[in-house]
């Protein structure tokens, strides 16, 4: 009788282990809209922080969820279909690649964006390469 | 100091606009591919930055490791945390020169080139020569390259448990569509 319980417990533990393993393996990518914003910043201020001390700003913001407000200077599509928004400055501003799943469900919001107007974007800050890279990102409606 | 350096770079860059002696791509494509018996591993980034000096044929290329996206979130985690140590070594860099460069290459259709330079990945720098293509495609200057690297050459250790299952070499693919600086 005791052996039976041990076998059952062992089998149960293996099942749980396999379940956790499979869940981790098939873990979906983060849904930006559901993640908590860690920093709310203005585009110009964020750029200034990276320009003044790239290492310190990278340590502070890299892989963090940012909500960035600024002037939309360009709206494009990359060859793979990804929507690209650039804030503040075309060459050395903030480059935001929109989340493809979010973009597919929010085409009208993307189409409504006008360059020269203010926009707020929420996304994961990846660091600085001539410009600040944010991806994946979504547009936050105000 | 950093700020002064930034403005110096900006000044040099804007001085070059008039001569249009530089080409830039801010959303260049870079991928790495490896095949395993279970499934293929493909990491892709559309956020690499590359500058091509039209006078000298020098090419600079940089990518942030955390911009590589994978099919599975777990692959992305392993790539950044276990293998590339992206917090410690956030960027991969290549600085090189096109062998036998002449300015006509920038106006001609896509043709084979060889580039020799230093590749810095995971904090380890190695001299490499890679094959590529450079020239006009649909009126735009395009540069591409495909080459193989061995992770161990760059101090990237892959646990023995999975090492045999992953191809010894990883295939790197690069594609950049350049714009003249300032345009």
| Residues A74 and A91: beta-carbon distance below 8 Å | no
Question: B103 CB near a chain A CB, below 8 Å?
Answer: no
Question: B42 CB near a chain A CB, below 8 Å?
Answer: no
* CB pair distance less than 8 Å for B73 and A30: yes
Spans of all domains in chain B? 21-180
The tokens describing A59, both together, are: 């340590």
Nearest CB neighbour to A126, from listed B10, B67, B87: B67
DSSP assigned state of B153: G
| Residues B149 and B167: beta-carbon distance below 8 Å | no
- Which range has the worst mean pLDDT, A45-59, B60-74, B155-169? B155-169
Judged on CB neighbours under 10 Å (0-12, 13-18, 19+), B137 is middle
What is the rounded CA–CA span in Å between residue A89 and residue B13? 15
Nearest alpha carbon to residue A66 among A27, A34, A39 = A39
Question: B74 CB near a chain A CB, below 8 Å?
Answer: yes
CA distance A108 to chain B (A): 24
Q: Please name the residues between 147 and 166 in chain B that touch chain A, using a CB distance below 8 Å.
A: none
pLDDT for position A137: 96
| Residues A123 and A39: beta-carbon distance below 8 Å | no
Asked whether the predicted pLDDT for residue B4 surpasses 50, the reply is: no
DSSP assigned state of A9: H
User: What are the tens digits of pLDDT across the range A83-120?
Assistant: 999 999 998 999 999 999 999 999 999 999 999 999 99
Exposed e or buried b per residue across B81-114, where buried means at least 16 C-beta atoms within 10 angstroms of its C-beta: eebbebeebbbbebebebeebeeebbeeebeebe
Rg for chain B (alpha carbons), in Å?
18
User: With contacts defined as CB-CB under 8 Å, which chain B residues touch A127?
Assistant: 64, 66, 90-91
Cα B82 to chain centroid, rounded? 21
User: With contacts defined as CB-CB under 8 Å, which chain A residues touch B179?
Assistant: none
- Alpha carbon distances (Å) from A89 to A43, A71, B76, B147: 9, 8, 30, 34
Options 3.40.50.880, 3.60.20.10, 2.40.128.110, 3.40.190.10; CATH of B21-180: 2.40.128.110
User: What are the tens digits of pLDDT across the range B45-100?
Assistant: 999 999 999 999 999 999 999 999 998 888 898 899 989 999 899 999 999 999 99
For the residues A25-40, what does the mean pLDDT come to? 87
What is the rounded CA–CA span in Å between residue B118 and residue B158? 23
B141 bridge partner residues? B136, B178
* CB pair distance less than 8 Å for B3 and A82: no
The residue to which tokens 């320009």 are assigned: A51
DSSP assigned state of A113: -
For the domain covering A32-139, report its CATH number: 2.40.50.140
The tokens describing B50, both together, are: 């590359």
pTM, rounded to two decimals: 0.85
| Residues B49 and B91: beta-carbon distance below 8 Å | no
User: With contacts defined as CB-CB under 8 Å, which chain A residues touch B47?
Assistant: 95, 97, 126, 129, 133, 135
| Residues B95 and B118: beta-carbon distance below 8 Å | yes
Spans of all domains in chain A? 1-29, 32-139
Q: What residues in chain A have their Cβ under 8 A from chain B's Cβ atoms?
A: 24-30, 51-54, 58, 62-63, 78-80, 82, 84, 91-92, 95, 97, 126-127, 129-131, 133, 135
CA distance B66 to chain A (A): 6
- Alpha carbon distances (Å) from A63 to A87, B21, B44, B164: 19, 35, 17, 31
Q: Mutate which of A80, A82, A101, A126 to disrupt the B interface (most B C-beta within 10 Å)?
A: A126
What is the rounded CA–CA span in Å between residue B82 and residue B80? 6
User: What are the tens digits of pLDDT across the range B13-36?
Assistant: 444 444 558 999 999 999 999 887
What is the rounded CA–CA span in Å between residue B131 and residue B113? 6
């Amino acid at each position: 009788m005791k052996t039976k319980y041990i076998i059952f417990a062992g089998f149960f533990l293996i099942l749980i282990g396999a379940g956790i393993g499979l869940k981790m393996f098939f873990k979906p990518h983060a849904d930006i809209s559901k993640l908590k914003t860690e920093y709310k910043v203005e585009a110009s201020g964020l750029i200034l922080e990276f320009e003044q001390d790239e290492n310190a700003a990278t340590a502070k913001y890299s892989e963090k969820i940012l909500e960035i407000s600024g002037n939309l200077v360009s709206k494009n599509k990359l060859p793979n279909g990804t929507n690209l928004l650039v804030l503040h400055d075309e060459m050395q501003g903030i480059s935001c690649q929109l989340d493809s799943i979010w973009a597919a469900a929010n085409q009208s919001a993307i189409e409504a964006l006008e360059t020269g107007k203010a926009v707020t974007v929420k996304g994961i800050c990846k660091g600085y390469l001539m410009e600040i890279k944010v991806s994946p990102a979504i547009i936050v409606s105000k | 100091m950093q700020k002064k350096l930034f403005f110096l770079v900006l000044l040099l860059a804007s001085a070059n606009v008039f001569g249009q002696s530089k080409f830039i791509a801010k959303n260049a494509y870079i991928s790495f591919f490896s095949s395993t018996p279970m499934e293929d591993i493909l990491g892709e980034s559309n956020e690499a930055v590359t500058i091509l000096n039209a006078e000298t044929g020098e090419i600079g290329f940089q990518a942030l490791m955390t911009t590589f996206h994978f099919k599975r979130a777990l692959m992305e985690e392993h790539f950044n945390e276990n293998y590339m140590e992206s917090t410690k070594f956030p960027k991969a860099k290549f600085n090189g020169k096109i062998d036998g460069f002449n300015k006509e290459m920038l106006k001609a259709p896509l043709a084979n080139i060889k580039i020799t330079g230093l590749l810095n990945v995971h904090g380890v720098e190695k001299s490499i020569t890679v094959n590529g293509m450079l020239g006009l495609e649909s009126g735009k200057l395009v540069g591409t390259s495909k080459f193989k690297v061995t992770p161990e050459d760059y101090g990237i250790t892959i646990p023995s448990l999975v090492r045999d299952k992953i191809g010894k070499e990883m295939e790197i693919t690069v594609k950049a569509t350049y714009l003249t600086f300032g345009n």
